[in-house]
Chain A
Amino acid sequence: MTRYAFYLDTNSCSGCKACQVACKDKHSLEAGILWRRVYEIAGGGWRRVGDAWESTVFAYNLSLACNHCAKPICVEVCPTQAISQREDGIVLINEKICTGCRYCSWACPYGAPQYNTAAGKMTKCTFCVDNLDAGLPPACVAACPMRALDFGDRADLEIKYGKAAAFYPLPAAGLTDPSLVLTPPNDAFKAQSEPACIVNWEEVRKP
């Protein structure tokens, strides 16, 4: 049985946000809602080494949607059982049942469930199940001009790209076991020793 996962090569991602826009367009998302978000991370500065100054500046992008986790905390905490996981790993919200309490949005460390104020419901990435059924890739994957995004069976992707440890600003993978296969940015190690932050927070923060 296929267990779907997304793949992201952070070194290829140029931060163009075509994935973010393709998703928003396909699902006609309300203003403020982004099922896929591109986080711009930057940090570092200048460090004095003897008489010289050395640059430790770095920047990378992180394109994230719902990771359709193997231990989805949103499914666990939803009081109305509006969120469920299919056998293929895809986590979906049944908006008819959702009471709009936003608890899943707090619990998810990836900011995946997003609140639609007008509808009074939570919404999230559906992995474009309709596309999958039609034999097409999810809209975000199809739109990526750098081919930085991919999708497929999690086990296959892990064999192909390996399993990378979480890096800033990702939470520890053990919390929810995300179905997200990553090639980490070359500068990921710098974010552990240098000051780093998400520089486009106004754009990507939870609505």
Chain B
Amino acid sequence: MKERSLVAFTLLTQTAVGAFVTLEALYFGLAFLAGTAYDDMPGNKVLLAIGLLVGLGLLASFFHLGTLANAWRALSNISSSWLSREIFFMLLFVFLGALYAGLQWLKIAPVGVRNVLAGLAVLSGLSLVFSISRVYSLRTIPVWNTLATPVSFFTTAFLLGALLVRLMMALAWPALPKDGSLGIGDVFPLAFWILEWIGLVCIALIGVELLIILLGRAKPGGRSGQPFQVVRNPVRPTESLFWLRLVLLVAGAGILLFQSLPGAGGGGPKGPLAGLAFILVLASEIIARFLFYEAGINQGL
């Protein structure tokens, strides 16, 4: 449990990127399906939450540093260090995201300009998640240097981000007037139809995670598999934590499935259950990230 600050940094930033991508996908979907731009839904609150997540993520990353005064130098090695690139994309995502959120909040720029900014922020966010995964794809740490690292980092980002947006929209739903006075009332059923689809996508993403877990465990390990991979009095993988992560993930998928049943989730996903699904999956992802660090740091001499 040594890498608490990095667990927090990676999960918070990945969730933020996932939530941003989901929100923009939702806006895009609404504009596409309804034929007009609907961007003044509770989306602003989601943007605020994303800002909070990114801010907390940055704060958490500082706790990992021994000499904070030199943190600004971390952009010095962009030509060869993925850690420098990660920080570069982090700053770019923060800058573009904040600019977009500001314009969105105040509605002071044409929709076209905001859309371009949102697109650039999405690209920088995806580059950020990719960079985070490359930071761990070290040729000297075989257990991290697999396709599972980028795939699982992106899955985590989209899964937690989508569940967060789904939860916030579900919570905002009852408080909104249904008479169309906001100008978006007519669109809400459509938004929730999209959110239900997001729920189904989340179930699929959980499926991807389960597949990664199964493939990861099926891999031959130990000295016989890789003659020069150091295996020293191996720290027993924390089996109970692993199973807990699995149970939480499946439970989250169960709730999502239940909510997507006809009748069960009529009128969109309900807040409490959507919240429970988010919490279960979040807890599972936190455990998974701790196990990820445990596995990697125990490599090498």
Contacts and interface: CB of A to CB of B under 8 A. Distances in A.
A106 interface: yes
Interface in A165-197: 166-172, 175-176, 192, 196-197
Nearest to A196: B223
A76 B80 contact: yes
Given A79-B83, A109-B300, A111-B301, A121 B67 contact: yes
A161 interface: no
A79 B67 contact: no
Given A73-B139, A78-B77, A101 B232 contact: no
Contact of B81 (A77, A110, A119): A77
B81 A78 contact: yes
A191 to B, nearest CB: 8
A70 interface: no
B139 A97 contact: no
Nearest to A118: B66
Interface in A108-149: 108-111, 115-117, 119-122
Interface in B44-77: 64-68, 70-71, 73-77
A109 to B, nearest CB: 4
A201 B77 contact: no
A169 B233 CA distance: 12
Given A111-B300, A192-B227, A80 B73 contact: yes
B84 interface: yes
A166 B228 contact: yes
Contacts of A175: 139-140
Contacts of A171: 140, 228-230, 300-301
Interface string A16-59: 00000000000000000000010100000000000000000000
Main secondary structure on chain B at its contact with chain A?
A: loop
B138 A73 contact: yes
Nearest to A80: B73
- Which of B65, B68, B84, B138 gathers most chain A CB within 10 Å? B138
Interface in A61-81: 64, 73, 76-81
B82 interface: yes
Contacts of A204: 301
Interface residues of B, number: 36
Nearest to A95: B67
Contacts of A76: 80-81
A192 B76 CA distance: 42
B3 to A, nearest CB: 10
Given A80-B76, A80-B77, A169-B230, A100 B65 contact: yes
B296 interface: yes
B83 to A, nearest CB: 4
A139 B157 CA distance: 50
B83 A77 contact: yes
A101 B74 contact: yes
B232 A169 contact: yes
A58 to B, nearest CB: 15
A93 to B, nearest CB: 12
B223 A168 contact: yes
Interface string B96-111: 0000000000000000
B233 A176 contact: no
Contacts of A115: 66
Interface in B208-232: 223, 227-232
Nearest to B232: A198
B27 to A, nearest CB: 35
Contact of B296 (A106, A110, A120): A106
A79 B75 contact: yes
A169 B227 CA distance: 9
Interface of A: 37, 39, 64, 73, 76-82, 97-103, 106-111, 115-117, 119-122, 166-172, 175-176, 192, 196-198, 201, 204
Q: Which 3 A-B pairs have the closest CB atoms?
A: A100-B66, A120-B66, A99-B70
Interface of B: 64-68, 70-71, 73-77, 80-84, 87, 135, 138-141, 223, 227-233, 296-297, 299-301
Given A64-B301, A168-B230, 20 more contacts: A37-B301, A77-B138, A99-B73, A100-B66, A100-B70, A101-B64, A102-B66, A103-B83, A108-B140, A109-B299, A115-B66, A119-B66, A120-B66, A166-B228, A169-B230, A169-B231, A171-B229, A171-B301, A176-B140, A204-B301
12 contacts: A78-B77, A81-B76, A98-B66, A98-B67, A98-B70, A99-B65, A99-B71, A99-B74, A109-B141, A109-B300, A169-B230, A198-B301
